[in-house]
Structure 1
């Protein structure tokens, strides 16, 4: 008659999931039912990602022996980290397991068990009771009307043939035996089982009593059906007494189905039994050995998903010393921003929490993998949310943009002032001596160099991306080729000691000035090839700065870019070499030395630029290129023109024919050491 525990494992695992218990131990009996329950509960726990912390299978003989020795611990040191333990009881003999647990005062555990569990009833130490707060899954049944009154009215005087009542009365109601017939005498008057506390005798019906009640009625219904069937046979019409064998009742028992007095359907056929329903009982402990089972929830296997279990958490009394819902996990949950990393050789519930990498997040607890943010997003500091990146560029509003733009405009104004100064004093000796035409070309090209740096600041577009590189390449080519022309002119003027008519015509006609258009035409050809094959274009850099998408100009063809830069570097190196060879020529205004130093500064800037440029990203890369343009152009302006402006403005006496003659005489009087 007893219902099978088909859904007991499912019900227990549902309670584990409700309280997020993922690290649970299992203690069961040795036997068919115990092993079947172990298989069922492990399957359900694996399916719901609840880990089995340990499994202990004990037999009644072993437990009884070790309980007698009082030295064996069923729950050993390897189980101490588990706060929730499932105990499956099969027979009454396994109360020895309860005894062992009580002896070890395991008061911090949460015990989950089935209805076969029976508490240790002889103790009074309710504070240290290991089973205070145990959760019991009992088959649901309706209260049988009149059962409690029947039990309360039962006495050995009313049922003298019941030897159990006879001995129970003697033990609990201070009775004595008469010497003549061993009858009970001197008992407490009008004694009743209802007077006894629940830990001695509980008059309420439990599932065992319910099953016995249904079993008795099932046998009665089966006998009635068997007798009725026999009554219908012709042989019974003779009214002869017939004896029945017990096996003849089995077919009728299997087909017996009826409603008991509580309205519950009773069916002894396993294939037609209804789905299981469980009451979840909480075991409360009180002083003086009083104990109480309180219904705190129900489980119904045929209820809709998500509604199978109802629970009143505020009514649950947990184990001694526990005031909140206890935790039973192998590892604490990984909060958002972390992912689970399995611990080698351990269960899946045991893991480490590893922070997500850059641009990866987890927005839920206990995620196994981090999710990568999209290209236009980035992970916040907590790594639990992807945020949209801010689109930016080297703008005029930025402090760096303001500084570079201000420097460029200042140098442009300074260059324009120098050009104006040279135009104003174009007929003076120093302007004429330094090749007035080439000086004008150099100053105008430097103006273009300073102004082209402004193309790198502000929001890029297709036009500015193309103009940045072409203007930069052509302007600096004109400037460097002009320096080369000035240097060659100085060398030809002072190295030729006795020039003939052909050399004189070459210098007077200004043929060295043709170096400028020839060099510029070569650079223009390189730029045209660059723009025709793979020109610069607008690009975005989402990785240079955290949380920003930087709009930059992509060079397009890096090969073409380095060809333009390499050609410019070759011109600069050639100019530096020629100027270096002519640095000691005895010209009036030390022009060769100034040209040498200017090209040294120019080459130093761009040699330093290359490694720094490749190691920087985003706006810093653009700012580095702008800085190199301004620094190299400022080096040319300062080294070549500042000394001349000094003479024009502060030493006008040297800017005349008399001053030049005096300077020449002083140079000739200097002793020569080479």
Structure 2
């Protein structure tokens, strides 16, 4: 005999517990004809096995079926009745012979199975559940005799998490029933989902209907921004919440159902359930059982008092009462009750009982019965002396004990008629496979269930989940996959910044700072670009920085080039004028040789400005500073010598002074050469130790590379500038002291003015040079060179050119000596 416990009735009527009399038995109501199909499937499977000549040929199986009425006390009572027998008086105290049952199929409720397994485990009696999914039941130390033909919640949770991961939902809500099934599922789900998503809320459905608790859950659903809600509950426990969601027309939610309710007729057969259209559910693997429908339609009412299920089925199906049951009704309502005849046409009645298109629970019952049958077959096929028990004994067929069957059940491994392999792992769990179903709403508003995918644990890792995207119905406008995120993904160019006090799925997207990028979606940090690169406008790619230098092509470079060439032309033009008028008094009086050398040095000064324009190279960097240093020292040396000559020329007019013979032309040339030689030595030492080199400066400006000439040795560069300043300062002092010498043509005044301009330019050059960015630094340096050169050129030579070219009448000795012209 094999026992069976099923969840056929949905409600119970409690007996009177006033303790004034012996309480009556609990009464069950709400007979579910579709669930009765699962019980009938067990009966069908046993009859099919009894007819099979190859499976258990010498044994006949029987069965006893009980209804647990969805209540734990009744489930425990059914289990103890099955293992203890139906007798009121115990006669066989030795407990010999066959036990009342050798195994039990059921209970479908996890909480019931936990309680029943604790009892059956003491006797080693197998309990094979077709619907209890709590992962806690996989613990063989606590539940050594428990098996199941449905995957555990741990596997179910994995499937749901994979679906959530597949669609990128990172913000989900959880609702679970207040029992072991729901709470264990929530705990496992929280452990798994945190790797990919965050839980927006977690609510519990009470076992006893509480309106205020249901209202609280409804408010949580409305207020939450989570669009995806996962529900671990049975259809019975979800009923009240289901009705409230439908009545308040809460839409815009993607429901994900556990296998306990996703295919349940309690919910799917209700009217106006559009709020739940589009639900994705995890469903037990659907199977086909040939000839089952014919067997189901052959059932007829049996008035055996020990078999009340068939009568309850008949009355529920045809909404009538048999005369014997009518006596229990109030006499005032007899006229309203239809009488059953027992000959009603069952095949013409379309109910969930006769529908075999969605055999899921029933298919699991079918597999459970066959698993027990194969275990029994292995037990009775044991060869004498090769048994697995003490002294290699086999089990006694006439005295089979449940613990012996348990041994063989652990090793069951066969393939059924659908090609599905039936075997249990070390935890008593069947090989994991689930159908993915979808509640699809037609144009007429009717919701139907359709298979849209499968999750097969035995498949290749990347191909475990298969979803037929074209067949899925989404209850959103437009009919596309909904989005459920606390915060949308951060695009490349931004980084995630978590919000204080909120889950990691809630964050803000902060743009990367200048010079930093993020090239991936949802980057945690921005990466800095290499020194020669900079972030683009979108902050998602490092691009080469713009290389900046003062070129001949840009407007500033072109202007400075034109100005420098103008200075060259003016210098050469004045030199030409002075050479042409070299015999005139103005030229002779101002030391023509030094004037020619000064004009030549000024020409070089203007030319050296051109070396600062254009892309820096090793040659141009060295040439620009060498030309700058030598040409300016040559220029200042000439001015200094001219100043000394002016002073000596004045002193030579005094009686007894003969200084000019000690500072003649050779001494003047030697002085200029000596001063210039010192600068040349400074340049040679500088270039030999640490010469100027081209340098790409990435520190001055973040978005550009300043291509400039690094001075190399700062000491060398300082000596070069300091020496020029030293000579300029001496020239300025001497010229300033000699500015008021009593001479009609004192050149010292013009030298003083030129040195004043020179010094003013280079003093203001220092702060301007330091504060100018990029190529403007070079432009400031060029401007200082040109300004000081033009200042010297105009201050010293413009008055002379004016006399030579505009006022030639003053270009004579008398005019220079200050004598008035003779009137004719």
TM-score by shorter chain over 0.5? yes
* In structure 2, distance between residues paired with 1:187 and 1:634: 128
Deviation at 1:52, TM superposition (A): 2.9
Check if 1:17 corresponds to 2:165.
Answer: yes
Using the TM superposition, name which of 284-293 and 440-449 deviates more.
284-293
The residue number in structure 2 matching 1:336 is 492
Task: Tell me if the contact between 1:24 and 1:54 (Cα under 8 Å) persists in the aligned partners.
Answer: yes
Using the TM superposition, name which of 404-413 and 514-523 deviates more.
514-523
The residue number in structure 1 matching 2:606 is 450
Counterpart among 793, 796, 807 of residue 640 in structure 1: 796
Counterpart among 194, 216, 219 of residue 72 in structure 1: 216
Deviation at 1:69, TM superposition (A): 6.6
The residue number in structure 2 matching 1:631 is 787
* In structure 2, distance between residues paired with 1:644 and 1:660: 12
Counterpart among 179, 197, 204 of residue 357 in structure 2: 204
Counterpart among 316, 320, 345 of residue 190 in structure 1: 345
Counterpart among 574, 579, 603 of residue 735 in structure 2: 579
* In structure 2, distance between residues paired with 1:290 and 1:426: 117
Task: Tell me if the contact between 2:375 and 2:409 (Cα under 8 Å) persists in the aligned partners.
Answer: yes
Task: Tell me if the contact between 2:640 and 2:730 (Cα under 8 Å) persists in the aligned partners.
Answer: yes
Check if 1:306 corresponds to 2:306.
Answer: no
* In structure 2, distance between residues paired with 1:395 and 1:20: 54
Deviation at 1:645, TM superposition (A): 1.1
Counterpart among 367, 376, 387 of residue 523 in structure 2: 367
Counterpart among 607, 622, 644 of residue 466 in structure 1: 622
Task: Tell me if the contact between 1:493 and 1:507 (Cα under 8 Å) persists in the aligned partners.
Answer: no
* In structure 2, distance between residues paired with 1:257 and 1:36: 29
Deviation at 1:537, TM superposition (A): 2.0
CA separation of 1:225 and 1:457: change in aligned 2, threshold 3 A: closer
Deviation at 1:637, TM superposition (A): 0.9
The residue number in structure 2 matching 1:236 is none
CA separation of 1:84 and 1:427: change in aligned 2, threshold 3 A: same
Q: CA RMSD in A?
A: 3.7
The residue number in structure 2 matching 1:672 is none
Using the TM superposition, name which of 329-338 and 398-407 deviates more.
398-407
CA separation of 1:269 and 1:496: change in aligned 2, threshold 3 A: closer
Task: Tell me if the contact between 1:66 and 1:72 (Cα under 8 Å) persists in the aligned partners.
Answer: no
Check if 1:27 corresponds to 2:203.
Answer: no
Task: Tell me if the contact between 1:388 and 1:547 (Cα under 8 Å) persists in the aligned partners.
Answer: no
When normalised by structure 2's length, the TM-score is 0.71
* In structure 2, distance between residues paired with 1:511 and 1:157: 145
Counterpart among 19, 29, 37 of residue 185 in structure 2: 37
Task: Tell me if the contact between 1:338 and 1:362 (Cα under 8 Å) persists in the aligned partners.
Answer: yes
Question: Any idea what the Cα deviations from partners look like across 1:632-658, whole Å, max 9, x if unmatched?
Answer: 111111221112111211111111224
Deviation at 1:446, TM superposition (A): 0.5
Task: Tell me if the contact between 1:25 and 1:55 (Cα under 8 Å) persists in the aligned partners.
Answer: yes
Deviation at 1:81, TM superposition (A): 1.6
* In structure 1, distance between residues paired with 2:497 and 2:690: 47
Check if 1:110 corresponds to 2:268.
Answer: no
Task: Tell me if the contact between 1:445 and 1:475 (Cα under 8 Å) persists in the aligned partners.
Answer: yes
* In structure 2, distance between residues paired with 1:577 and 1:60: 104
Q: Pairwise mapping of residues 131-210 of structure 1 onto structure 2 (< 5 A)? A: 131-151=276-296, 153=297, 156=300, 163=308, 166-167=311-312, 170=315, 173=318, 175=320, 184-185=339-340, 190-192=345-347, 195-196=350-351, 203-210=356-363
Structure 1, unmatched stretches of 5+, are: 234-239, 667-674
The residue number in structure 2 matching 1:603 is 759
SS of the residue aligned with 1:120?
helix
* In structure 2, distance between residues paired with 1:184 and 1:483: 138
Using the TM superposition, name which of 180-189 and 282-291 deviates more.
180-189
* In structure 1, distance between residues paired with 2:787 and 2:723: 19
CA separation of 1:202 and 1:559: change in aligned 2, threshold 3 A: farther
CA separation of 1:193 and 1:222: change in aligned 2, threshold 3 A: farther
Q: Pairwise mapping of residues 93-492 of structure 1 onto structure 2 (< 5 A)? A: 93-99=237-243, 101-102=245-246, 104-117=248-261, 118=264, 120-121=267-268, 123-127=270-274, 129=275, 131-151=276-296, 153=297, 156=300, 163=308, 166-167=311-312, 170=315, 173=318, 175=320, 184-185=339-340, 190-192=345-347, 195-196=350-351, 203-222=356-375, 249-268=405-424, 270-271=426-427, 273=429, 275-286=431-442, 290-321=446-477, 323-389=479-545, 393-492=549-648
Counterpart among 67, 78, 81 of residue 225 in structure 2: 81
* In structure 2, distance between residues paired with 1:310 and 1:69: 37
Check if 1:55 corresponds to 2:202.
Answer: yes
Question: Any idea what the Cα deviations from partners look like across 1:57-91, whole Å, max 9, x if unmatched?
Answer: x2633xx3433675432662796121222222268
SS of the residue aligned with 1:6?
helix
When normalised by structure 1's length, the TM-score is 0.85
CA separation of 1:409 and 1:577: change in aligned 2, threshold 3 A: same
* In structure 2, distance between residues paired with 1:173 and 1:660: 144
* In structure 1, distance between residues paired with 2:260 and 2:220: 24
Deviation at 1:600, TM superposition (A): 2.0
Deviation at 1:425, TM superposition (A): 0.8
Deviation at 1:115, TM superposition (A): 0.7
Deviation at 1:204, TM superposition (A): 3.0
CA separation of 1:140 and 1:664: change in aligned 2, threshold 3 A: farther
Deviation at 1:478, TM superposition (A): 1.2
SS of the residue aligned with 1:297?
strand
Question: Any idea what the Cα deviations from partners look like across 1:362-391, whole Å, max 9, x if unmatched?
Answer: 222112233333444433222222334566
Question: Any idea what the Cα deviations from partners look like across 1:412-450, whole Å, max 9, x if unmatched?
Answer: 111001001011111212212222222112101101111
Structure 2, unmatched stretches of 5+, are: 1-147, 328-337, 388-395
SS of the residue aligned with 1:593?
helix
